[in-house]
Amino acid sequence: MTVSRSRTGFRDSAVLTIDLDAIAANYHTLRSRLAGGICAAVVKADAYGLGAARIAPVLQNAGCRHFFVALLDEAVALRAFLPQADIYVLNGLLPGSEATFHRHRLVPVLNDLSQITRWQTYSREHGPLGAAIHIDTGMNRLGLCPVQTDHLIAEPERLDGIDLLYIVSHLVRAEENDHPLNRTQLDTLSTALGRLPSVPVSFANSSGMFLASSFHFDLARPGAALYGVNPTPTAENPMRNAVRLEAPILQVRDVDSPMTVGYGATHKISKRGKLATISVGYADGYLRSLSSRGTCVVNGVRAPVVGRVSMDLITVDVSNVQSQSIKAGDKVEVLGPGHDINDLANEAGTIGYEILTSLGRRYRRRYVGG
């Protein structure tokens, strides 16, 4: 896909390239982790900020038939371009939303007994209708708490009239392979499953798919790994990089001591050098925490961000870049093969999830492959 030209004929915004073939390849890599189980895809938050309308059909063509989102509005939008897929809404069934779920053939993930009761009532009138039930095994966020799980076990008639498709839970520290909480959660879930109706189970997220096969069950729900985030942070990333962000240099200048750089004069020039001002800032999702911590790749060389990140700009020290031809209009690699999502997240003191979902709307988006 080519990028449309601007009305002015000149583009000074950064270009975000999304590699659809890499995302499809990541899906195949993740699916290969499963011994006969189903690999779903989590495309919430507009496919982690990269564009669900373009990415979800690619995943469907790669063989995915089960999709998870957070919000009902996301699910309704997704249905427009996935007419036959199974679409699950993780945030559950808010009062009054039953008819919307039914009309768009969406599956609620029921998170408490009141949601089960309301879906049962609606399902008896219009169904039976499909649902998943979320059993909380340690996250303490969404899902039936242990007391509610015990109530459901004691009163299985609460499920009469519901087509129960999956029992779902969510790992807390799956990215830490040997953390004891993983086994504690698995044991908690297994105990509950022994007392609940026998239906398929979904437990593993992206990182959970790299735990032992006992964590995989019947359906896995990878999300960020599809888009290149490392699901095994202490080991080499098994996923392909799917995102490239290139931003133009706006100005190059020579500097020397005792000059300072940026708001607050937080960076002090210690010797003669060269700075490049780049067209990207926190309004574009380049986090302010990257001030004097981030790096970019300029002509193949890592160059440090100096001074504070501004709303629209960062300043990069290019003194060590072996080129006398750095000039306005040249592109700098903010994200890419030489400096991926995981690298930038480490520099920002955050996770790749936040980097992805923060990518701004001012970028020109370019989709390749697919």
Among all residues, which ones are annotated catalytic? Answer: 44, 263
Cβ 273 vs Cβ 256: under 8 Å = yes
C-alpha–C-alpha distance, residues 302 and 313, integer Å: 18
Among the listed residues 198, 193, 114, 118, the one whose alpha carbon sits nearest the alpha carbon of residue 161:
118
Cβ 137 vs Cβ 185: under 8 Å = yes
Among the listed residues 152, 252, 137, the one whose alpha carbon sits nearest the alpha carbon of residue 189:
137
Q: Is the peptide bond before 83 cis (omega within 30 degrees of 0)?
A: no
Dihedral angle sign, alpha carbons of residues 342, 346, 347, 352: positive
Cβ 51 vs Cβ 363: under 8 Å = no
Instruction: Enter the DSSP assignment of 312.
Output: S
* Residue with tokens 């799917």, as numbered in its chain: 242
Residues with Cβ within 8 Å of residue 327, at least 6 apart in sequence: 249, 252
Residues with Cβ within 8 Å of residue 137, at least 6 apart in sequence: 143, 169, 170, 185, 188, 189, 192
For 369, phi then psi, to 5°, come to 75, -165
